[in-house]
A and B are shown apart, each in its own frame.
Chain A
């Protein structure tokens, strides 16, 4: 069994960098997915349930088939299914987005826990990782920079989505539907169809985020595997001003913040860890206060996203 020399104080930046990538990947998928959904003018709070359902289905399918990538695909499909329910329900007249979102959290988690019971004991085949620091003599550094290919898929998705919104016809439709749905309708675009597809695609990505949790990091299926990341992603999207690439940076930031607390304890700084744990939320709130203003609607906010998001 290998054991490396201690990194000492270097352990903190290494952990934060590594944590940014490995902890930030689920945030990345969920926030990019939510970004897509919100660009079309709907908010999906139910992603917490989607995350859990994705984690469970990925783990279960990987257990059954032995292939983690099939598990990832299954997670995406499970996400799409839940997204379809959300889309259909929240677009009906008089039905409120937020309420549907919370109901979907309850329903999604219930389903995930229910069907996931038989899979807590078994071990599923995990996703592979690519080593980026294999040149280092230090096993800690080597291991910190083992990155899952899903991370790169997520990064690609973020850049692709930015290009998609800026330069493609469908991206334009989505933005139109999100900004001025009446104008879009006048143009002959089916608002319902566009939103449904956006919500489903967003949930697909969120499901993959869940797969990452159970098949890579932390790499296990338990009922507490998600710590509110689905809900955090909604705040993240606002933090990132509905720009997919900024969602990427924000996710890395949050992932790093998550790793900071334990890393500091590792080198002996251990007070106030509850407040430390709340630092991503405090940070988001501070940023929102600093950058919002009543004079202008939040730059980048889709016009139809309720009252001046």
Chain B
């Protein structure tokens, strides 16, 4: 019996030795750490980042470590510390907005040699530590183009937008979508429903059905995972525009186009910079890295089968103006949906304008309230 047990133990150990152990990293690999607030395969926000990280992991000399479903509590501080101390990461990419204050700021002070790149654009010169940087994409440019296509495809001229919360990033997307649609069809209205949180599939489905019952025939959204909304739109037989990543596979008939991130592009930029020895601390990597369609930070999904040639032409024309820098989406005179003037006549707010980051209003043509 004893012999049997000991041989069993030996066999088990040998079998386990055959299983893969974590591989050691090459001495001069740069380790980049990615942290996601939700699961990596959510068909949305976190997946877009994960795809970017996967893209950059293929580059020579770069190793990535990732951790998903890290809440915005002390847990993310622990994760960041672990990545630095245990995994030797020298560049961290915590991808959720809520990680910035206080978590990144606190860790940045503790580890001045590690670079922290936050997705969200919060960095303020002088106020925040030098080893912190921000990056973000002007996805509202892609939303504008989405709006153009939606506006020209809609038969009822009623568009629907299901949003999580009335925060500036979301409001900017709603407004850009609306402005794009109204630039080609001024009678278009966009109806907004706020679900209250980033991921609420039942509420999202109910909202989609309510909007469609009100006559909406193109739906889009800003939630963590657009899967449910796109699937509901397809079931009800209306059009939809995607967000974060391409959901065309879910809605083969109704998917028009969508606003997507291209994080691989951004992360490759950072990877190259870090490999070349550039740092935030000495200023060789800019603290605020933002870009839109022109810089390849965001992209438009390929057009679906229902998009007419007219819509394609209009969208491509607008896209060209984004590419050559001549397009300004937010220029006066612009009123919000209560009638107040939010951008006076003659003023232009370019994409980097800080006021756009604090947006708290919904533009004229949007049915809904930020309260």
Contact B249 A120 (CB under 8 A): no
Contact B202 A270 (CB under 8 A): no
Tell which of B97-105, B133-141, B211-219, B317-325 binds the partner: B211-219
Q: Report the separation of the CA atoms of residues A144 and B209 in the bound assembly, to the nearest whole angstrom.
A: 8
Contact B306 A1 (CB under 8 A): yes
Contact A19 B228 (CB under 8 A): no
Tell which of B19-27, B83-91, B230-238, B277-285 binds the partner: B230-238
Contact A258 B41 (CB under 8 A): no
Contact B210 A266 (CB under 8 A): yes
Within the complex, which residue of B206, B207, B238 is in contact with A1, where a contact is CB–CB below 8 Å?
B238
Tally of B interface residues using CB under 8 Å: 51
Contact A121 B41 (CB under 8 A): yes
Measured between C-beta atoms, what is the minimum distance from A308 to chain B in Å? 33
Return chain B residues, CB-CB under 8 Å to A305. none
Contact A273 B42 (CB under 8 A): no
Contact A265 B193 (CB under 8 A): yes
Within the complex, which residue of A6, A258, A263, A268 is in contact with B202, where a contact is CB–CB below 8 Å?
A258
- B159-200 contacts to A (CB < 8 Å): 191-196, 199-200
Within the complex, which residue of B38, B194, B196, B205 is in contact with A218, where a contact is CB–CB below 8 Å?
B205
Within the complex, which residue of B193, B201, B306, B367 is in contact with A225, where a contact is CB–CB below 8 Å?
B201
CB closest chain-B residue, reference A218: B205
- A194-237 contacts to B (CB < 8 Å): 217-220, 222-225, 227
Q: Report the separation of the CA atoms of residues A42 and B263 in the bound assembly, to the nearest whole angstrom.
A: 51
Measured between C-beta atoms, what is the minimum distance from B49 to chain A in Å? 15
Contact B231 A6 (CB under 8 A): no
Return chain B residues, CB-CB under 8 Å to A18. 209
Contact B254 A23 (CB under 8 A): no
Interface flags for A118-148 (1: CB within 8 Å of B; 0: not) read 0011010010000000000001100110000
Contact A219 B209 (CB under 8 A): no
Measured between C-beta atoms, what is the minimum distance from A216 to chain B in Å? 10
Return chain A residues, CB-CB under 8 Å to B236. 139, 143
Return chain B residues, CB-CB under 8 Å to A140. 212-213, 215
Return chain B residues, CB-CB under 8 Å to A263. 206, 210
Contact A6 B158 (CB under 8 A): yes
CB closest chain-B residue, reference A4: B215
Return chain B residues, CB-CB under 8 Å to A126. 235
- A266-296 contacts to B (CB < 8 Å): 266-268, 270-271, 273-274, 277
Return chain B residues, CB-CB under 8 Å to A19. 206, 209
CB closest chain-B residue, reference A227: B202
Contact B194 A265 (CB under 8 A): yes
Interface status of B39 (Cβ within 8 A of chain A): yes
Contact B43 A121 (CB under 8 A): yes
Measured between C-beta atoms, what is the minimum distance from A237 to chain B in Å? 20
Measured between C-beta atoms, what is the minimum distance from B365 to chain A in Å? 15
Interface status of B250 (Cβ within 8 A of chain A): yes
Measured between C-beta atoms, what is the minimum distance from A123 to chain B in Å? 6
Tally of A interface residues using CB under 8 Å: 47
Q: Report the separation of the CA atoms of residues A219 and B237 in the bound assembly, to the nearest whole angstrom.
A: 15
Return chain B residues, CB-CB under 8 Å to A220. 201, 227-228, 231
Return chain B residues, CB-CB under 8 Å to A143. 209, 212-213, 236
Contact A266 B228 (CB under 8 A): no
Measured between C-beta atoms, what is the minimum distance from A55 to chain B in Å? 10
Tell which of A7-15, A156-164, A238-246 binds the partner: A7-15
The answer to whether A259 and B39 touch (CB under 8 A), given A227-B200, A277-B196, is no
- B236-251 contacts to A (CB < 8 Å): 236-239, 249-250
Q: Report the separation of the CA atoms of residues A8 and B191 in the bound assembly, to the nearest whole angstrom.
A: 13
Interface status of A113 (Cβ within 8 A of chain B): yes
Q: Report the separation of the CA atoms of residues A268 and B367 in the bound assembly, to the nearest whole angstrom.
A: 7
Q: Report the separation of the CA atoms of residues A239 and B237 in the bound assembly, to the nearest whole angstrom.
A: 38
Contact B239 A222 (CB under 8 A): no
CB closest chain-B residue, reference A14: B213
Contact B235 A219 (CB under 8 A): yes
Contact B199 A222 (CB under 8 A): yes
Interface status of A262 (Cβ within 8 A of chain B): yes
Interface flags for B220-233 (1: CB within 8 Å of A; 0: not) read 00000101100110
Measured between C-beta atoms, what is the minimum distance from B195 to chain A in Å? 7
Return chain A residues, CB-CB under 8 Å to B239. 1
Interface status of B338 (Cβ within 8 A of chain A): no
Interface status of A187 (Cβ within 8 A of chain B): no
Give 26 A-B contacts (CB < 8 Å), ordered by A residue.
A1-B237, A1-B239, A1-B253, A1-B254, A3-B215, A4-B212, A4-B215, A7-B215, A15-B210, A15-B213, A19-B209, A121-B41, A123-B249, A123-B250, A139-B236, A140-B212, A218-B205, A218-B231, A222-B225, A222-B227, A225-B201, A227-B202, A262-B203, A263-B210, A265-B368, A268-B367
Given contacts A6-B158, A219-B232, A261-B203, 5 further A-B contacts (CB under 8 A): A3-B155, A113-B39, A217-B202, A219-B228, A258-B202
Nearest 3 Cβ contacts at the A-B interface: A6-B215, A3-B217, A266-B210
